[in-house]
Chain A
Amino acid sequence: MSQQERVYKDPDINMETERYWEGAKNGKLLMKKCNSCGKTHFYPRAICPVCSSSDTEWYEASGKGKIYSYSIMRRSEIPYVMAYVTLDEGITMMSNIVESDFDDVKIGKAVEVTFRKTEGNQSLPVFRLCK
């Protein structure tokens, strides 16, 4: 059984994060990397949370990763899969796993990014199991 999907709420967008959401509209998962310490962080910030440098820069992530953990929200009217996905770039982000049978979702499985329209026509990165 493939999932029926709920309506996605709009993200809050501010001047620190608008590039991320613009990228999503263009089908890109953008990340912020610090030029001082070299680390990627998430959620993207103007100031690196690792070393406090303000020399941070956007780049396009691979969009590939693995499920770090998940929970299937069965009690919801339209059940959905809440997950943390660890990207190949090393950071772990909250997301939903879509287009997948609930029984196939497991920790460690490879996933790839895809996008969903939100109620206000923004683009939201979500993930699906790799074929």
Chain B
Amino acid sequence: MSRMSKAYIAGIYEHPTRKAVDKTIPQLHAEVAIGALKDAGLTKDDVDGYFCDGDAPGLGGMSMAEYMGLNITYTDTTETGGSSYVVHVGHAVEAIAAGKCNVALITLAGRPRAEGLTTLGARDRGGELPERGFEIPYAPVITNMYGMAAMRHMYEYGTTSEQLAWIKVAASHHAQHNEHAMLRDVVTVEDVVNSPMISDPLHRLDCCVISDGGGALIVVSPEIAKSLGDRCVKVLGHGEAVKHLNGGNFDLTYTGAAKSGPIAFAEANVKPADIDYASIYDSFTITVLETIEDLGFCEKGQGGKFVSDGNLISGVGKLPFNTDGGGLCNNHPSNRGGMTKVIEAVRQLRGEAHPRVQVPDCTLALAHGTGGQISTRTGAGTVILGRNDA
């Protein structure tokens, strides 16, 4: 079988740094771009489209394009937090299909660790944010916002801390094989539930790491992909959504994936059961659990049972996930995990994941990004990817 693909991912690169004390953010953008172009077998002069998030230095993509010496005729700086890069893949595919560009470069870089950022402190983005007066005085931070989602999920569906812990356990089983991972020790369910409580019901080991670094992707037209060989990966479907508080009428137990997932599956004409490997955004364990339900890998409310007993561990369970160790153990560059989600899915489809976690005959993969705050004000991006012969 050979499925139609409007564009291909030809190059990937994950920066190996986890703490970039001696590099600037523009330098990191350039390093990941060079890495991904080399991986694709292209040069910067081949790039005619550039994509970055709204957090990149400068106004939109202009300063970074100048720094890197890009000569571009198409740009997109869609900002949906950590899901931006998954959304960018979809937008790059559409731009290529419309003939607006042929080689799209997507970059992410940041250095929150070197800058001393912690997860504490109110998330104050300033300016004219309409919701600001009604939130900042109450001291919302990323951990208690995700904590409230977890608490409500537990209340409605009986989800337990032990079930959430299985998600971290699976990530740690994968991270032990990744030499760049920040946390390489295999942990148990007991280790997770006995780690210090950060914001009920989330423990320290329910939370992702904070890291510097970044990554890049190269998306190309089918013609260029043909010239680059069979390491190119098909982009079969893409969906995105924004979910918000809806005027004070909302449900914390689901995420934007409930909308972006079905759109992506329909475009790719595949079902959740067809997916061999999934990269699922993992800022916290609850992020993974709600997303797995929303994407249809199990019924709503059954995520706790689904993730238990190693079901997410490669070689053990039915849905191998985040085989690089994910944000929970490996890397969460610039507090934005969508880029590395796409990168590990491409590695799996090329057969280039670590041999101990490589999914045999991996043909179809999914990558999902979650941005902002889960189930309150959040961006979602889903892509379905296929091996070159899928």
Contact = CB atoms under 8 A, between A and B. Distances in A.
A76 B137 contact: no
The secondary-structure label for the interface of chain A is: loop
A75 B143 contact: yes
Contacts of B129: 12
Interface in B167-219: 196-202
B152 interface: yes
B133 interface: yes
Given A43-B130, A73-B144, A118 B137 contact: yes
A64 interface: no
Contact of A93 (B134, B151, B200): B134
A10 interface: yes
B341 to A, nearest CB: 25
Given A82-B199, A83-B148, A94 B143 contact: no
Interface residues of B, number: 39
Given A49-B247, A71-B147, A90-B249, A10 B199 contact: no
A50 interface: yes
B34 interface: no
Given A11-B137, A90-B249, A43 B131 contact: yes
B327 to A, nearest CB: 19
B130 A45 contact: yes
A95 B248 CA distance: 13
Interface in A18-55: 21, 39-43, 45, 49-50
B106 to A, nearest CB: 33
Interface string A86-122: 0000111111100000000001100000000010000
A45 B245 CA distance: 14
Interface residues of A, number: 44
Interface of A: 6, 8-14, 16-17, 21, 39-43, 45, 49-50, 68-76, 80, 82-84, 90-96, 107-108, 118, 124, 126
Nearest to B129: A12
Contacts of A41: 247-249
A94 B120 contact: no
Contacts of B152: 68-69, 107
Given A74-B199, A75-B120, A94 B133 contact: no
Interchain residue pairs A-B with the least CB separation, the first 7? A71-B147, A91-B248, A42-B248, A41-B247, A11-B133, A12-B133, A69-B152
26 contacts: A6-B139, A9-B139, A11-B134, A12-B133, A13-B133, A40-B248, A41-B249, A42-B134, A43-B248, A50-B247, A68-B152, A69-B149, A69-B151, A71-B143, A71-B150, A71-B199, A72-B197, A73-B199, A75-B196, A82-B138, A82-B139, A92-B248, A94-B135, A96-B138, A107-B151, A107-B152
Given A9-B137, A70-B148, A94-B140, 15 more contacts: A9-B136, A13-B133, A14-B133, A17-B133, A21-B133, A41-B248, A43-B248, A45-B130, A49-B246, A72-B199, A73-B199, A75-B198, A82-B148, A84-B148, A91-B249
Contacts of A49: 246-247
A33 B84 CA distance: 35
B132 interface: yes
B53 to A, nearest CB: 25
A113 to B, nearest CB: 13
Nearest to B155: A107
Contact of B197 (A14, A21, A43, A74): A74
B249 A71 contact: no
A83 B144 CA distance: 9
B298 interface: no
Contact of B151 (A40, A70, A118, A124): A70
B224 interface: no
Contacts of B245: 42, 92
A89 to B, nearest CB: 9
A73 B143 contact: yes
B250 interface: yes
A59 B151 CA distance: 31
